[in-house]
């Protein structure tokens, strides 16, 4: 309740119109704690004079889209994304459906402490409208408009992780003409992400082969991610999906400045493949918010992460797993190629990641032994390898990532570097 009140205070402070009360869109994924958190947040928003439109269970990108489509002042998604059911989290969007910068999140946290109990009373308090009757239809119409391809003849298995896209994703794919087999699409408030979805890709690998499908698509709990599986059950990750879409967009002159935005954790194979295709890559820090910042700053049209967050700013203000799935199948339809054939545009290089516990993360990068070991590793790997050392943002760990043409080489170099980091 405090967070809802604080968000109302900060995110409606610069509102120009005084004729109508400010409005907020509130959505959630199916996990059980979302019910009480949505109620509490809605109460907090209303206590500060904000009218609340509850849109029920819907993907995170659906809330972002509806915040803009309804002309709301802010949007709230209650979800812990790919995390287990007991976890939950709250994501805010400003007007237009955009994620908040760190500074604004800090303002909201400060307001939680600073706000006193006095708010509007009587006719000044907000109204709470339970379950918008057309929210899902609006979002589905947006998806159809963003990816209008005819997918007739494509058979797809979709794993919705018993999450927010359990109803929307199968409907969107079927509306485009695909033959849809939905699995893990029966949320019961407790089974979200439970041995299913994009964090348990082995489930859809089996299902695609079992059903004889052309591909599989796996989403996470709030459906802002999409990973794919080809007809033989081979994983096609976010880097490969970006490569496929980037080549198609370049062919149609839709890839602004022939540039793709990706994080530093993207596979080196993506960079090498894009070089062959005449496409530049801009690398950002890890996190979809940093990808979004770079996309918006340069006016670019495609970006994302290896994990399956794919952002297409012409259609969405955040990663949209269902839209990514539609665009990927549209590329298959327009080329007449299988997903395996399309994925050959990129060779995924072996990537080894070791998490090293460290007492002081700040001391590692300043250590001369680490710098020397990195330089030696980079020389040894040459153009076909890469070394990345970075601190974890939330844990007392340092991440050592090495890519090489051969997995044995990557493991050897990563193990050597990890030993040096552990000794600091």
Sign, Cα dihedral of 148, 149, 153, 156: negative
Beta strands in 295-366 (DSSP E): 303-304, 310-311, 351-357
Reply yes or no on whether 266 is catalytic. no
Q: Facing residues of 10 across strands? A: none
CA distance 189 to 176: 29
Catalytic residue among 79, 81, 324, 409: 81
Cα-based distances in Å from 201 to 112, 308, 342, 351: 39, 12, 20, 18
Helix or strand or coil: residue 374?
helix
- Describe the crossing of helices 60-69 and 321-335 by its angle, rounded to 10 degrees: 100
DSSP SS3 for 130: coil
In sequence order, what are the residues at sequence separation of 6 or more whose Cβ sits closer than 8 angstroms to the Cβ of residue 71? Answer: 23, 95
Between CA 113 and CA 254 the distance in angstroms is: 47
Q: Cα 408–360–397 angle (5° rounding)?
A: 40
* CA atoms of 11 and 75, how far apart (whole Å): 10
According to the annotation, is 224 in a ligand binding site? yes
Residue 307 annotated in ligand binding: no
Helices 238-251, 321-335: inter-axial angle, 10-degree rounding: 50
Can you list the alpha helix ranges (DSSP code H) found in 193-299?
202-211, 238-251, 268-276, 288-298
81 annotated as ligand-binding: yes
222 labeled binding residue:
yes
Binding residues for Mg(2+): 81, 220, 222, 224
Binding residues: 81, 220, 222, 224
Q: Which residues are catalytic?
A: 81
């Amino acid at each position: 309740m405090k967070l809802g009140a604080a968000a109302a205070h900060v995110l409606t402070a610069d509102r120009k119109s005084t004729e109508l009360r400010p409005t907020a869109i509130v959505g959630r994924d199916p996990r059980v704690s979302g019910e009480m958190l949505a109620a509490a947040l809605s109460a907090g928003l209303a206590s500060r004079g904000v009218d609340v439109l509850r849109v029920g269970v819907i993907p995170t990108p659906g809330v972002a889209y509806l915040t803009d489509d309804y002309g709301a002042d802010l949007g709230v998604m209650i979800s812990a994304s790919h995390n287990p059911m007991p976890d939950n989290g709250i994501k805010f969007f400003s007007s237009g459906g955009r994620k908040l910068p760190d500074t604004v999140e800090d303002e909201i946290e400060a307001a939680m402490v600073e706000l006193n109990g006095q708010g509007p009373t009587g006719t000044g308090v907000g109204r709470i409208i339970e379950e918008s009757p057309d929210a899902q239809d609006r979002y589905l119409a947006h998806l159809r408009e963003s990816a209008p391809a005819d997918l007739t003849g494509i058979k797809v298995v979709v794993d919705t992780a018993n999450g927010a896209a359990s109803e929307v994703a199968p409907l969107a794919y079927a509306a485009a003409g695909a033959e849809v087999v939905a699995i893990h699409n029966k949320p019961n408030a407790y089974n979200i992400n439970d041995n299913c979805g994009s964090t348990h890709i082995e489930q859809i690998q089996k299902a695609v082969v079992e059903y004889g499908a052309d591909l599989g698509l796996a989403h996470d709990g709030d459906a802002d991610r999409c990973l794919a599986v080809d007809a033989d059950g081979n994983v096609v990750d976010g880097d490969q999906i970006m490569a496929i879409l980037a080549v198609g967009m370049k062919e149609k002159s839709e890839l602004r400045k022939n540039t793709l935005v990706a994080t530093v954790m993207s596979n080196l194979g993506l960079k090498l493949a894009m070089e062959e295709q005449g496409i530049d890559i801009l690398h950002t820090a890890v996190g979809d918010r940093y990808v979004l910042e770079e996309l918006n700053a340069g006016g670019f049209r495609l970006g994302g992460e290896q994990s399956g967050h794919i952002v297409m700013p012409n259609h969405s203000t955040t990663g949209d797993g269902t839209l990514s799935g539609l665009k990927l199948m549209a590329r298959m339809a327009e080329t007449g190629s299988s997903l395996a054939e399309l994925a050959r545009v990129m060779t995924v290089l072996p990537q080894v990641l070791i998490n090293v516990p460290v007492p002081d993360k700040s001391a590692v990068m300043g250590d001369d032994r680490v710098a020397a070991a990195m330089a030696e590793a980079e020389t040894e790997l040459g153009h076909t390898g890469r070394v990345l050392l970075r601190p974890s943002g939330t844990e007392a760990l340092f991440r050592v990532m090495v890519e090489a043409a051969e997995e044995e080489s990557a493991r050897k170099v990563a193990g050597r570097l990890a030993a040096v980091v552990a000794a600091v």
